[in-house]
């Protein structure tokens, strides 16, 4: 009963979304406000409908309805309730419903805004959102139905939505359980964050298409979607960071980013989205790059769908990807059709998207921002080629040739270094025109300080030239950004007579977008410290030792003390935990407890490292294998990951920066009214 109800609601939602597309197009062409309003209400209706279907699916998950195939695949009786709920997006079919749920929520939210000034955009925004929603709902209804049930038939047990002839409903005693790797807190939050980022980027794309269809060639569509773009970028960024933390904590290879194809699939729209956020400022300030901004937002939307395709089609082998599925060709077709239509609209409006001014200086802020964009696009090309090359090689040679991390690292390292340098100098340049002399006067102090830091690192930390170049660029970027805060706060302090910290706070609050961006720049530089540290200086060792024996790595000593194994029947897990003593230069630092958790339902291990973290480095100890108690032997793999915690610190600073940048400004009209009221009250008092 519940399964039929949930499935029926999905079908109704699909039909409502299709109706919204038809009503919006017909209403726009015939200038029928009634039909457009009907389409808007259809869009609004999809959210409660899909929510109802989602609640039904969650009910089935939480209450162990193992007659439903999806419930059987992703839950078990031993799983706690919160994991059964998050199993909603832990499997293929449920994740598509989750995507549709978010899409309907965001699309409904955007249609609730006041449309008085932009009513011509409304029908086309509805069309784009509804078409995207209908596509994902169609996948759930016709290909990846989460409400399919098991039926006993003559040949055994088969999954069907409705009962075949002479079949009876079959209910399994227990489920397979969620993949243990997905039970980590990072993976509970990581997929929703990625989905929020993916879905949020649909909204700027919808407004861009609306602008192309209606011929609105000004920057109004950009202003309307500025915060949508910022929040989409925030969600996508945090999804990537949480995925990195999950990989670091669970996968047991001592790193946070393996250039896995599905990792890259989520990284590519982040690259174009980041380029877009920088590029739109040029259009707003100077009326330039209108064509380029349209291309970027179209690319971002296409890469969002492409990333979803790679994860769910099964064409790529990845720990992040779902199983082989028939929906791959449908995704490919949808990406192709939407991309071709978008480019056709862009070509149609190309003459009307002329720039309002010209770029006159190669050192102006707009020129440096454009160079920044080209670097992002270069990284995108490297990533895209690395992802599709195995598919191309398999298509033409019959062999899937994988592209490993060394390719990406060698190809992208110079590009990321150039981005760090641009991140430092671009804020110092002026709109319209800058010279080498003006930039030199602004940056020389920070450049000297960065050089001093680099020399100090040469004598105290490393003599690796590539690493020193990286550290110098990071120091340069941080120092120049801090210098900008200092200069602005000091200027305000002199003018307003405020103390320095009050001036700094008010300066930031009155220029949130600018100084929020500076905070983000600092966060990126801090994250770069962690990335450079682990990539340049990571060391590792592995060995089998008896109780009381040691492994030595760098200036650490890891001494195997004991091992215990026990079953937790309530949680359905066997825990095998080792105890190791840690010394550094002979000084005792404490104990670590690396362990292996074996889940009975999924019949799969999860490796949990023992980790000692400082700003200097991480000592990362893995229990790889162990011998019977009688032999007292165990195999450990040990990593020393220098500076990696600066990556996580930078992630927290990044969150602060994006909140500052995206926080709504006070309504200027309200401020004027308040000021006039204050003047009147003061006059009356006098």
Given 144, 160, 177, which residue is the final one in a domain?
Answer: 177
pLDDT at 236 over 60: yes
CA distance linking residue 131 with residue 143, whole number of Å? 17
CA dihedral 6, 11, 17, 20 (to 10 degrees): -120
Q: Decide if 454 is inside a domain.
A: no
Q: What is the CATH number of the domain that holds 3?
A: 1.20.120
Per-residue CA distances from 210 to 120, 228, 283, 288 (Å): 8, 16, 18, 20
CA distance linking residue 586 with residue 591, whole number of Å? 14
Look at residue 631 in the predicted model and tell me its pLDDT. Answer: 61
Given 143, 177, 211, which residue is the final one in a domain?
Answer: 177
Look at residue 325 in the predicted model and tell me its pLDDT. Answer: 60
Look at residue 668 in the predicted model and tell me its pLDDT. Answer: 43
Look at residue 398 in the predicted model and tell me its pLDDT. Answer: 76
Look at residue 679 in the predicted model and tell me its pLDDT. Answer: 41
State the number of CA atoms in the 13 A half-sphere of 233 facing the CB.
25
Tokens of 5: 């109800």
Beta-carbon contacts of residue 426 (< 8 Å; ≥ 6 apart): 365, 368, 369, 372
Q: Is 292 helix (H, G, I), strand (E, B) or coil?
A: helix
Q: Decide if 440 is inside a domain.
A: no
Query: pLDDT-derived band of residue 666, with 50, 70 and 90 as boundaries?
Result: low
- Assess contact for 431 and 360: CB atoms under 8 A: no
For 4-58, what is each residue's pLDDT tens digit? 999 999 999 999 999 999 999 999 999 999 999 999 999 999 999 999 999 999 9
Look at residue 643 in the predicted model and tell me its pLDDT. Answer: 95
From the CB of residue 452, how many other CB atoms can be counted at a distance below 10 Å? 11
Chain mean pLDDT for the chain: 89
Beta-carbon contacts of residue 574 (< 8 Å; ≥ 6 apart): 565, 566, 567, 568, 597, 598, 600
For 598-636, what is each residue's pLDDT tens digit? 998 888 888 899 999 999 999 999 999 887 655 668 999
Q: Decide if 246 is inside a domain.
A: no
Q: Decide if 25 is inside a domain.
A: yes
Host domain of residue 562: 540-646
- Total tally of structural domains belonging to the chain: 2
Measure CA of the first residue to CA of the last residue in the chain; give whole Å: 75
CA distance linking residue 226 with residue 595, whole number of Å? 46
Helix (H) or strand (E) holding 22: helix 2-29
pLDDT at 685 over 50: no
Query: pLDDT-derived band of residue 681, with 50, 70 and 90 as boundaries?
Result: very low
- Assess contact for 622 and 593: CB atoms under 8 A: no
Q: Decide if 430 is inside a domain.
A: no
For 456-476, what is each residue's pLDDT tens digit? 999 999 999 999 999 999 999
Tokens of 274: 């980041």
Instruction: Choose among 436, 432, 421: nearest CA to 361.
Output: 432
For 243-265, what is each residue's pLDDT tens digit? 898 889 888 788 899 888 888 99
Per-residue CA distances from 229 to 375, 505, 628, 643 (Å): 20, 25, 56, 31
pLDDT at 663 over 70: yes
pLDDT at 440 over 60: yes
Q: Decide if 560 is inside a domain.
A: yes
Tokens of 97: 């419903």
CA distance linking residue 177 with residue 43, whole number of Å? 35
Look at residue 314 in the predicted model and tell me its pLDDT. Answer: 54
Q: Decide if 310 is inside a domain.
A: no
Q: In whole angstroms, how large is the CA radius of gyration of the chain? A: 28
User: In this structure, what DSSP letter does residue 251 have?
Assistant: I
Per-residue CA distances from 320 to 196, 258, 266, 387 (Å): 17, 12, 11, 14
Per-residue CA distances from 483 to 166, 473, 510, 660, 671 (Å): 78, 15, 18, 19, 31
Q: Decide if 31 is inside a domain.
A: yes
From the CB of residue 579, how many other CB atoms can be counted at a distance below 10 Å? 17
Query: What would the mean pLDDT of 574-588 be, rounded to a whole number?
Result: 94
- Does this model's pTM top 0.85? My answer is yes
User: In this structure, what DSSP letter does residue 667 have?
Assistant: P
Query: pLDDT-derived band of residue 184, with 50, 70 and 90 as boundaries?
Result: confident
For 290-347, what is each residue's pLDDT tens digit? 999 999 999 999 999 998 888 765 555 544 444 456 788 888 899 999 999 999 999 9
């Amino acid at each position: 009963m519940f399964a039929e109800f949930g499935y029926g609601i999905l079908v109704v939602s699909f039909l409502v979304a299709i109706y919204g597309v038809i009503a919006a197009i017909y209403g726009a062409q015939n200038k029928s406000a009634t039909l457009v309003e009907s389409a808007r209400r259809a869009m609004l209706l999809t959210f409660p409908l899909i929510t109802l279907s989602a609640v039904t699916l969650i009910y089935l998950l939480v209450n162990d309805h193992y007659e439903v195939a999806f419930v059987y695949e992703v839950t078990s009786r031993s799983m706690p309730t919160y994991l059964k709920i998050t199993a909603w997006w832990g499997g293929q079919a449920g994740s598509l419903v989750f995507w549709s749920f978010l899409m309907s929520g965001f699309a409904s939210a955007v249609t609730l805004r006041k449309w008085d000034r932009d009513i011509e955009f409304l029908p086309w925004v509805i069309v784009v959102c509804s078409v995207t929603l209908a596509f994902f709902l169609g996948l759930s209804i016709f290909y990846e139905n989460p409400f399919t049930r098991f039926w006993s038939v003559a040949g055994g047990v088969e999954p069907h939505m409705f009962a075949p002839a002479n079949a009876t409903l079959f209910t399994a005693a227990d489920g397979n359980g969620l993949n243990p790797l997905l039970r980590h807190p990072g993976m509970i939050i990581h997929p929703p964050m990625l989905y929020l980022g993916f879905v949020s980027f649909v909204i700027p794309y919808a407004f861009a298409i609306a602008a192309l269809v209606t011929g609105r060639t000004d920057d109004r569509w950009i202003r309307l979607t500025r915060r949508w773009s910022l929040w989409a970028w925030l969600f996508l960024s945090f999804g990537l960071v949480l995925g990195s933390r999950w990989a670091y904590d669970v996968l047991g290879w001592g790193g946070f980013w393996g250039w896995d194809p599905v990792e890259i699939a989520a990284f590519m729209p982040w690259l174009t989205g980041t380029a877009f956020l920088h590029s739109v400022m040029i259009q707003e300030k100077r009326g330039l790059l209108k064509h380029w901004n349209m291309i970027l937002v179209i690319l971002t939307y296409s890469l969002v769908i492409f990333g979803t395709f790679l994860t769910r089609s099964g064409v790529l082998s990845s720990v992040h990807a779902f199983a082989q599925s028939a929906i791959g060709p449908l995704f490919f077709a949808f990406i192709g059709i939407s991309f071709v239509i978008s480019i056709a609209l862009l070509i149609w409006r190309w003459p009307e998207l002329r720039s309002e001014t010209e770029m006159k200086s190669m050192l102006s802020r707009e020129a440096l921002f454009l160079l920044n964009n080209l670097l992002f696009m270069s990284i995108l090309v490297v990533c895209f080629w690395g992802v599709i090359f195995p598919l191309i090689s398999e298509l033409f040679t019959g062999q899937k040739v994988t592209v490993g991390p060394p390719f990406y690292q060698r190809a992208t390292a110079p590009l990321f270094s150039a981005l760090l340098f641009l991140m430092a100098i671009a804020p110092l340049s002026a709109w319209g025109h800058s010279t080498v002399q003006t930039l030199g006067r602004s940056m020389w102090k920070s450049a000297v300080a960065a050089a001093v830091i680099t020399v100090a690192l040469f004598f105290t930390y490393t003599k690796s030239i590539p690493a020193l170049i990286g550290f110098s660029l990071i120091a340069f970027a941080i120092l120049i950004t801090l210098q900008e805060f200092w200069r602005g706060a000091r200027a305000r302090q002199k003018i307003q007579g405020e103390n320095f910290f009050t001036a700094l706070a008010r300066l930031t609050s009155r220029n949130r977008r600018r100084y929020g961006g500076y905070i983000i720049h600092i966060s990126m530089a801090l994250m770069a410290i962690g990335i450079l540290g682990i990539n340049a200086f990571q060391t590792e060792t592995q060995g089998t030792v008896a109780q009381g024996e040691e492994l030595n790595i760098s200036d650490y000593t890891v001494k195997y003390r004991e091992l215990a194994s026990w079953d937790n029947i309530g949680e359905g897990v066997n825990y095998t935990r080792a105890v190791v003593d840690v010394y550094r230069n002979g000084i005792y630092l404490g104990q670590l407890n690396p362990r292996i958790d074996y889940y009975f339902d999924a019949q799969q291990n999860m490796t949990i490292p023992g980790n000692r973290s400082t700003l200097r480095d991480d000592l990362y100890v893995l229990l790889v294998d162990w011998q019977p108690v009688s032999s007292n032997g165990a195999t450990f793999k040990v990593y020393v990951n220098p500076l990696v915690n600066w990556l996580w610190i930078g992630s927290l600073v990044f969150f602060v920066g994006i909140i500052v940048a995206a926080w709504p400004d006070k309504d200027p009209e309200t401020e004027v009214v308040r000021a006039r009221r204050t003047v009147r009250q003061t006059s009356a008092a006098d």
